[in-house]
């Protein structure tokens, strides 16, 4: 188990800054390569879309962002809470996406919503691991 300092830092510390930049980059549908290490691992815990969870490397993360642009007209990530240290950041996010395509009973233009908890591990100013829990509202 990795021992983390219990000292919390302000929102303008490098760890929190890079985590927020990552969320804003994904929100805009842009490439996060400059914010992550080359060996980054994203772990999505089990949810409605991935009942067994999903692990992604950088290439798979980038492909997921591209796929998101085909599924959603727009996405927004409202950061409602944050806490962190130099090497670890937790963000609570209210996500919503306006569908570009039909999904289940939802038609294009409908809005999906989720509450998401992101946990970022930071190394040398870049994200090396992302773990997230996505609680998607019923649709």
**pLDDT tens digits for 30-68?**
999 999 999 999 999 999 889 999 999 999 999 999 999
Tell me what pLDDT residue 58 has.
97
C-alpha distances in Å from residue 112, one per residue of 3, 29, 30, 54, 86: 37, 17, 21, 20, 33
* DSSP letter, residue 9: -
pLDDT above 70: residue 11:
no
Question: What would the pLDDT profile of 101-136 be if each residue is shown by its tens digit?
Answer: 999 899 999 999 999 999 999 999 999 999 999 999
Tell me what pLDDT residue 86 has.
85
Tell me what pLDDT residue 133 has.
97
| pTM, entire model | 0.88
The residues spanned by each domain of the chain are 14-136
Partner residues linked to 66 by β-bridges? none
Q: What is the C-alpha separation between 74 and 121, in angstroms, rounded?
A: 27
CATH code: domain 14-136 is 3.10.450.50
Give the pLDDT band of residue 138 (cuts 50, 70, 90): confident
């Amino acid at each position: 188990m990795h021992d983390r300092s219990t000292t919390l830092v302000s929102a303008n510390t490098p760890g929190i800054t890079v985590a927020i930049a990552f969320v804003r980059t994904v929100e805009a549908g842009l490439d996060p390569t400059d914010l992550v290490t080359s060996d980054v691992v994203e772990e999505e815990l089990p949810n409605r879309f991935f009942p067994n969870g999903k692990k992604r490397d950088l290439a798979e993360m980038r492909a997921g962002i591209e796929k998101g642009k085909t599924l959603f007209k727009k996405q927004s990530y409202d950061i409602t809470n944050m806490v962190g240290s130099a090497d670890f950041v937790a963000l609570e996010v209210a996500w919503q996406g306006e569908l570009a395509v039909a999904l289940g009973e939802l038609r294009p233009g409908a809005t999906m919503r989720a509450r998401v908890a992101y946990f970022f591990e930071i190394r040398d100013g870049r994200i090396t691991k992302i773990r997230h829990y996505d609680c998607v509202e019923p649709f």
